[in-house]
Amino acid sequence: MKIYIINGANLNLLGKREPDIYGTDMLDSINNAITEEAAELGLDCEFFQLNHEGDIIEKLHEACENADGVVLNAGAYTHYSYAIRDAIKAIRKPVIEVHLSNVHAREDFRQISVIASVCRGTIAGFGKTSYVLALHALKDIL
């Protein structure tokens, strides 16, 4: 099974950007942990980090034809991108929303997700383990 791992805006700065909130793991380290777990689960992951909203939408559209499911950390787009929300709904593939930090314990605007209602589920607050848990969730529902 093919799983797209899509990371949104500013996630290329992990390890440098606010390590007290997002941790010290760089995106490559997170991707390596995902790859290891995916191999044990029999999943094939393809990784994308996209800073532009339209690029994320295009990748979701591509997932419609080329992936069985998606793990999505949309970053700040989570809180206001109705275009990404509509793309998730349109592709009719299971999408698991993930966040490194516990967004519900942060600023008020981060506690709102406009994509949650069209995602299969949300996992937040466990650092890179959020992604690993999302893989297990997808494996269970696919």
Q: Out of 4, 22, 77, 131, which one is annotated catalytic?
A: 22
Which is the catalytic residue, given 4, 77, 99, 131? 99
> What is the per-residue burial (b if ≥16 Cβ within 10 Å, else e) of 98-133?
bbbbebeeeeeebeebbbeebbbebbbebbbebbbb
Cβ distance 114 to 82 under 8 Å? yes
Annotated catalytic, 22? yes
Residue 77 annotated to the active site: no
- The Cα 31–Cα 37 span in angstroms is 10
Q: Which of 68, 73, 72 is nearest to 42 (CA)?
A: 68
Residues with catalytic roles: 22, 99
